[in-house]
């Protein structure tokens, strides 16, 4: 986790610090090394949020685009008392989850059902073949009357099958933390796969990175 409560203040991990988990109230210790990004860890126990995953630099850089108060917000299902920590929850109650590692489609569906009003941002640089597939798949893009909106007959030729049946929008980031000097490079933009279909056609939006943020 990026944040813990230190003297009731939402704080980042610093060497030697002790904090409190905002989700379960357990003690947290700061992990500050040279290999992984600085983070908080539960002291002697597994993470209370079973959905927690070690964060990459990509994951952390995305979080940093948003106000601290939007980051790592603890949410609870009032019917089941199940708790999870959303990567981002905006003032409009939209949850943004950043996903770097592989996720099973069933697990993805469970998280979507929990958060409801959410969108995924997926690291498209994790597997080299993902961007190669996307590049080849752009030949299936069909222009619409709206600039930046495309229809695709064969979405399975463009995106990983793990995301094709998501019930919420999925935004693919093929740039990651790389710096690309060529402003015309398609990786500078984000690509949103909407959950709705027009017959067999998927709907894609090309979104400027800054506009999405």
In the prediction, which pLDDT does 160 show? 92
In the prediction, which pLDDT does 21 show? 83
- Per-residue pLDDT of 60-85, as tens digits, reads 999 999 999 999 999 999 899 899 99
pLDDT average, residue stretch 52-65: 92
CA gap 30, 32 in Å, rounded = 6
**pLDDT at 36 exceeding the cut of 80:** no
Cβ neighbours of residue 134 closer than 8 Å, sequence gap 6 or more? 124, 158, 159, 172, 174, 191
CA gap 111, 8 in Å, rounded = 28
Sorting pLDDT into bands at 50, 70 and 90, what band is 146? very high
**pLDDT at 47 exceeding the cut of 80:** no
In the prediction, which pLDDT does 110 show? 96
Buried b (16+ CB within 10 A) or exposed e, 53-76: eebbebbbebbeeeeeebbbbeee
pLDDT average, residue stretch 108-122: 97
**pLDDT at 50 exceeding the cut of 80:** yes
pTM to 2 decimals? 0.89
CA gap 170, 55 in Å, rounded = 19
Sorting pLDDT into bands at 50, 70 and 90, what band is 20? confident
**pLDDT at 94 exceeding the cut of 90:** yes
Count of residues making up the chain: 213
Find the range with the poorest average confidence among 42-56, 60-74, 157-171.
42-56
Here the tokens at position 8 are 């009731």
Do residues 186 and 124 make contact, with C-beta atoms less than 8 angstroms apart? no
Beta bridge partners of 201: 198
């Amino acid at each position: 986790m990026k944040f813990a409560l230190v003297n009731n203040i939402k704080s980042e991990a610093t060497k030697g610090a002790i904090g409190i988990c905002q989700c379960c109230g357990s003690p947290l210790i700061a992990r500050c090394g040279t290999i992984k990004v600085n983070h908080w860890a539960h002291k002697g126990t597994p993470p209370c949020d079973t959905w927690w995953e070690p964060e990459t630099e990509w994951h952390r850089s995305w979080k940093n685009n948003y106000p601290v108060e939007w980051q790592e917000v603890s949410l609870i299902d009032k019917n089941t008392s199940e708790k999870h920590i959303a990567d981002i929850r905006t003032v409009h109650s939209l949850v943004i989850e950043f996903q770097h590692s592989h996720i099973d489609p069933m697990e993805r569906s469970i998280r979507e059902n929990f958060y409801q009003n959410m969108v995924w941002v997926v690291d498209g640089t994790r597997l080299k073949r993902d961007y190669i597939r996307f590049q080849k798949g752009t030949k299936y893009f069909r222009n619409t009357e709206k600039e930046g909106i495309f229809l695709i007959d064969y979405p399975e030729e463009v995106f990983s099958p793990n995301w094709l049946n998501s019930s919420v929008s999925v935004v693919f980031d093929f740039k990651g933390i790389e710096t690309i000097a060529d402003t015309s490079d398609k990786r500078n933009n984000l690509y949103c796969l909407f959950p709705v279909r027009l017959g067999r056609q998927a709907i894609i939006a090309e979104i400027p990175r800054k506009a999405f943020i």
